Every structure is written in structure tokens, then in C-alpha cells.
Amino acid sequence: MFTLNCKGRILVIDKPLVMGIINATPDSFFSGSRFNGVDEIVAKAEKMLNEGSDILDIGGQSTRPGSELISADEEIERVIPAIKAIAEKNPKAFISIDTFYSKVAAAAVDAGASIVNDISAGSMDNKMIATVAELKVPYILMHMKGTPQTMQQNAIYKDVTLDVLDFFISKTHELQKAGIVDIIIDPGFGFAKTIDQNFELLKNLSVFKMLDKTIMLGISRKSTIYKTLGVNAEESLNGTTVLNTIGLMNGASILRVHDVKEARETIKLFSATYK
């Protein structure tokens, strides 16, 4: 069991949780996760909460391979009104801000978010780690090499599992030294990883349990699934469910997904099997 102190509210992880993805972006890789306007985002948030989402992950910047980088100020314009509206209407909701900008993280936590999800592990903003420590919120530490614009050129490893493990060992020590108490680790499926490397990481996910940290699995509708199956992102729900099941069997505690209802059902059946 893990516990996360989210601005004074304790999120208990004694069974796998679901994190619902909400992208306040016009260019997310999956059309079903693109939302325009605060009302549309709030409606989607309420639907996800009703379907059993434990955390809502709000992002204002696409991080798919080769995506266009936007500024922190533009990101703030996209996400802060949505976070405020969701938090006001659903004060008990746990909201995560998906950003690599410290300025966005601070504004989001002030608006109602209580978790910071940073794909860059602090590498794209050297103020991020100190900011999160000061905010005293949980930090999702993801592995990536380079940036979303360059990462697929950096998918070179001697042993992808051991290299990612070494990164987490070093980085969690750095975060703890900086004063960050609650750390969630995310191997970064699809971020500077080939399809074969993604499957290798998934197969070996249980290795990361040695870190004694909550493990998040973010593989929902990604190209590893749809390219392997010869379909597209819109047709990748079944494949997502299969890989989420494998992830749960190998130690994942949070499923970050576009489809909350199906992920909740996956966890329910998994939990009934492995009581």
C-alpha cells in the first residue's frame, strides 16, 4: 500500500487506481482526448469521475513525437480555467497537472491541482524540482531522453530496463534530497522507446517494484498498440486493455487512460482474480 499527500488530503493506493486523461489541446494524437472550451472539459471530467476515475490528469501541450512546443503562458491559458472549473464543481477530485513548466505547475496547484506530472523529470525546466518541493505535492517522475521533438532519435540503450532503472535510482535520490516526499514513477512508454523496447519494459515492469514507489502505466492507445495490431488510435481500446492487464500483473498501481470505464472494469476483474 502507498499513500500520497495531496495538499493535505491523503490519496490511499491500496488497490490499483485509474487516472483519466484530459487534453486541453487541439493536436493530441487521439481525437477522443481533445477538448475545446471549459464547459466541454468539465463535462468530460464529470463523466470520468462518474465512471470511477481516481485522478484527472489535465494537460495543455501535446507531447506526441514531433509535436510543436508551446510556451508556458499559452499552456496556462489552456489549462488553468479548466482546472479551476473542475475543482470548484468537484472539490473532492484529485487533479494532476501534466506539464514540464514550473510556472504552469505552480499556477495549476494554486488553481486546484494537487499532483504534478512531468514527462521531462525536470530536464526541460531547471526550476521544476525545487518548485514541486516547495509546493509539497506528489511528483510523477517519467523517463524520457531528449524532448518530444527529438526523443525518437534517442531510443538507444544497452539494456532498456536496466538503463531506466538506473535513471530512477539516481533521480529519486535527487528528488528526495530536494525535499520531494511522494514520488510516482512512470517508465515513459513511447518516449524515446521503440516498439520492441516498450514491450521489453512492460514485460520487465516488476523490476521497478524494488524502488518501493507507486508505478504508473501510461500506454493507452499509443502507437506500440496500434502499429503492432495494424489499426489506428481510435481502434486501440482492446489492445490497451490487454496491455493494462499485463501491467497490473507486473506491478502497476495507476493506469493512465483515455477510457476510464474500461480501465475500471479491467482493475475489477484483475482484483477479483488476484485477491
Q: What is the pLDDT of residues 181-197, one digit of tens each?
A: 999 999 999 999 999 99
Query: Could you write out the three-class secondary structure of 137-176?
Result: CCEEEECCCCCCCCHHHCCCCCCHHHHHHHHHHHHHHHHH
C-beta atoms surrounding 174 within 10 Å: 14
Q: Which of 78, 145, 221, 256 is the catalytic position?
A: 256
**What mean pLDDT value characterizes the chain?**
93
| DSSP letter string, 4-32 | EEETTEEEEESS-EEEEEEE--S--SSGG
Instruction: Output the nine-digit C-alpha cell for 159.
Output: 539494456
Its domain, for residue 211, covers 2-273
Q: Is residue 256 among the annotated active site residues?
A: yes
Buried b (16+ CB within 10 A) or exposed e, 14-33: eebbbbbbbbbbeebbbeeb
| CA–CA distance, 250 with 215 (Å, rounded to integer) | 10
Residue whose C-alpha cell is 513525437: 65
| CA–CA distance, 186 with 195 (Å, rounded to integer) | 17
Strand-pairing partners, residue 257, are 20
- For residue 37, name the pLDDT band (cuts at 50, 70, 90): confident
With a cut of 80, say whether residue 47 has pLDDT above it: yes
Q: The dihedral of CA 135, 141, 145, 149: what is its sign?
A: negative
Q: Provide the pLDDT for residue 147.
A: 65
Q: Provide the pLDDT for residue 70.
A: 86
| CA–CA distance, 99 with 240 (Å, rounded to integer) | 24
Average pLDDT over residues 67-79: 88
Q: Provide the pLDDT for residue 149.
A: 63
With a cut of 70, say whether residue 6 has pLDDT above it: yes
Q: Provide the pLDDT for residue 25.
A: 76
Q: Is residue 44 among the annotated active site residues?
A: no
Mapping DSSP to helix (H, G, I), strand (E, B) and coil, where does residue 216 land? strand
Average pLDDT over residues 234-252: 97
| CA–CA distance, 199 with 272 (Å, rounded to integer) | 26
Which residue has better confidence, 69 or 19?
Answer: 19
Instruction: Output the nine-digit C-alpha cell for 109.
Output: 496547484
State pTM to two decimals. 0.94
Number of domains in the chain: 1
Write the CATH number for 220.
3.20.20.20
Q: Provide the pLDDT for residue 77.
A: 92
Q: Provide the pLDDT for residue 26.
A: 67
Going by C-beta distance under 8 Å and a sequence separation of 6 or more, which residues neighbour residue 193? Answer: 155, 160, 201
Which residue has better confidence, 124 or 63?
Answer: 124
With a cut of 60, say whether residue 215 has pLDDT above it: yes
Q: Which of 78, 171, 221, 222 is the catalytic position?
A: 222
Instruction: Output the nine-digit C-alpha cell for 175.
Output: 528528488
Report yes or no: 190 and 157 within 8 Å, Cβ to Cβ: no
Which residue has better confidence, 145 or 135?
Answer: 135
| CA–CA distance, 212 with 59 (Å, rounded to integer) | 27
With a cut of 80, say whether residue 67 has pLDDT above it: no
- For residue 235, name the pLDDT band (cuts at 50, 70, 90): very high
